Amino acid sequence: MARYDFDLFTIGAGSGGVAASRRAGSYGAKVAICESVRIGGTCVLRGCVPKKLLVYGAEFVDAFEDSAGYGWTLGERRFDWGALIAAKDRELDRLNGIYVNLLKGAGVAMIDGHGKLVDPHTIEVGEKHYTAANILIATGAWPELPKVPGIEHAITSNEALDLKALPKRIVIVGGGYIAVEFAGIFRTLGAEVSMVIRGDRLLRGFDEDIRIALGEEMAARGIKIHAHTHLDRIENSPEGFVATAHDGAKFAGDTVMYATGRKPNTATLGLQALGIEVAHSGAVVVDQESRTSLPHVYAIGDVTDRLNLTPVAIAEGRAIAETLFNDNPMTVDHQTVPTAVFSQPPVGTVGLTEAAARGMHGAVDVYRTRFRPMKYTLSGRQERTMMKLVVDRQTDRVLGCHMVGRDAPEITQGLAVALKCGATKRQFDRTIGIHPTAAEEFVTMREKLPEPQAAAAE
């Protein structure tokens, strides 16, 4: 008779939890997964997928405008926000069904409800208890709202994906990737957008040239960015919602959206009562193998607040399944992970920022170019692309690739392979570019930027 009900019990059916459970089940393990909402998690239901669909919808605006320069004459244009949201919802239903079928196909038991650990090997879901040899926490994170008077009037990215109507005016609080992506969506579709950020620029933590270039392009699109500003209160008035800043400045909109951070979903899991270490932020503390302070309890994805990216969570989940159930010990390399921001224009980045590279390697060479893409020469659009390489001067190894502009995410994915392989600037230089493309600029940059001290002295 088996000692436990399951070999693996996963709490949370997002991308990481599903990947781990499905693979473990395919290796013959007896697996269960519980979910209190819908199978699919943040990425499929409240994040990457629906947001990217809205980005696609917004991009048609630029395409229609640019087409005139290429000889097209278009008739009346009309955008239906409700139709886009309905189409998005149908796609999410389809993906949810695929995830359910993948788990069924792997023999994974799906349990509806909120999971909580009640002892080292027992999970409580509703009124039932299940035991497992190994437990995986994959509960993700949730948007966090600050305690500001009137905060009940604000929405988060969750609600922004399901608005009944497109706002005519929206105030977006925050300057991270979620904020800039929604700012681009709403502005391109015709809304007046004001962004309120505490810092000096958007995308804190990204390379400084990305932050500068994106800020300039977003401002050129008519997005108003208010730096060094934080809100004290939100009030409902006959003119809409009015957000008042610390200096008395007022920002009015039909909608106020906060995108100021996400908090790991750990508060009701019973972790600390079992001695599982949880950081002050609420994140589960894990080692390189995703183990918590209880060796048979693992955690992956956003709940660990390491690299909060869907492909990373999937890789972490698969590594656990390989290690535990396929005799194939595996860990995930969290270095040189590419990422994108689906802003307008989009961002792609992989490797170290210039500041991080200087801090870690000392002397670096920096190459940067800005240009107007060929596609816009006939359309008249003034948007510019920025590309940048950061190179270790001693070894010639490329440490970072950064881009703001059309197709940046697609181009950066290929560059990530080169960085993972340890490519040098000389190898970039010896690579023949595809002409005419924007991507070829990454293998044709030859002029180094002057050192910061020298540039400041000029």
- The verdict on 195 and 289 lying in the same domain is no
The pLDDT tens digits for 162-209 are 999 999 999 999 999 999 999 999 999 999 999 999 999 999 999 999
> Between the CA of residue 36 and those of 114, 116, 303, 418, what are the distances in Å?
5, 11, 16, 41
Same domain, 251 and 279: no
pLDDT over 90, % of the chain: 97
Q: Given a cut of 60, is residue 18 above it in pLDDT?
A: yes
Asked if residue 291 and residue 215 are part of one domain, the reply reads: no
Both 26 and 124 in a single domain? yes
Claim to verify: residue 255 and residue 267 sit in the same structural domain = no
Q: Is residue 1 part of a domain?
A: no
pLDDT per position as a tens digit, 279-307: 999 999 999 999 999 999 999 999 999 99
Q: Identify whether 129 is a catalytic site residue.
A: no
pLDDT value of residue 455: 57
Distance from C-alpha of 434 to C-alpha of 416, rounded to nearest angstrom = 18
Is residue 314 pLDDT above 90, yes or no? Answer: yes
Look at residue 456 in the predicted model and tell me its pLDDT. Answer: 57
Same domain, 343 and 442: yes
The last residue of a domain, from among 301, 325, 349: 325
- Cα(218)–Cα(177) distance, rounded to whole angstroms? 13
pTM of the model: 0.95
**Whether residue 436 has a cis bond before it, omega within 30° of 0:** yes
Is residue 360 predicted with pLDDT exceeding 70? yes
The reply to whether 332 falls in a domain is no
Indicate whether 214 belongs to any domain. Answer: yes
Helix 81-105, helix 48-67: angle, nearest 10: 140
Is residue 133 scored above 60 in pLDDT?
A: yes
Residue 200 included in any domain: yes
Confidence check: pLDDT of 154 > 60 = yes
The confidence band for 238, taking pLDDT boundaries of 50, 70 and 90, is confident
Q: What pLDDT sits at residue 453?
A: 73
| Rounded (10°) angle between helices 15-26 and 310-325 | 30
pLDDT of residue 457: 54
pLDDT of residue 119: 95
Pair 16, 111 in one domain? yes
| Within-domain flag for 137 | yes
Do residues 229 and 274 share a domain? no
Taken as a whole, the chain contains a residue count of: 458
Q: Which domain holds residue 279?
A: 6-143+263-325
Confidence class for position 2, pLDDT limits 50, 70, 90: confident
- pLDDT over threshold 70, residue 144: yes
Q: Do 133 and 271 fall into the same domain? A: yes
pLDDT band at residue 27 under the 50/70/90 scheme = very high
What percentage of the chain exceeds 70 in pLDDT? 99
Q: Does residue 60 sit in the same domain as residue 91?
A: yes
Nearest residue to 243 (alpha-carbon basis) of 262, 224, 261 = 224
457 within some domain = no
pLDDT for the residue numbered 389 = 98
pLDDT given for residue 412 in this prediction: 98
pLDDT surpasses 60 at 1:
no
Residue 405 has pLDDT above 70, yes or no: yes
DSSP letter string, 136-154:
EE---EEE-----TTGGG-
Cα(386)–Cα(176) distance, integer angstroms: 19
Domain identity same for 12 and 121: yes
Inter-residue contact 266 to 282 (CB < 8 Å): yes
251-287 confidence digits (pLDDT tens): 999 999 999 999 999 999 999 999 999 999 999 999 9
Residues 269 and 249 reside in one and the same domain: no
Domain CATH for 134: 3.50.50.60
Show which of 260, 277, 302 is a domain's final residue.
Answer: 260
Listed residues 208, 225, 260: the one ending a domain: 260
Spot the catalytic one: 129, 153, 402, 435. Answer: 435
**Residue 458 counted as domain residue:** no
Decide if 270 is inside a domain.
Answer: yes
Going by the DSSP 8-state scheme, the letter that residue 18 receives in this structure is H
* 3-class state of residue 424 by DSSP: strand
Q: How many CB atoms lie within 10 A of CB 441?
A: 20
Total number of domains in the chain: 3
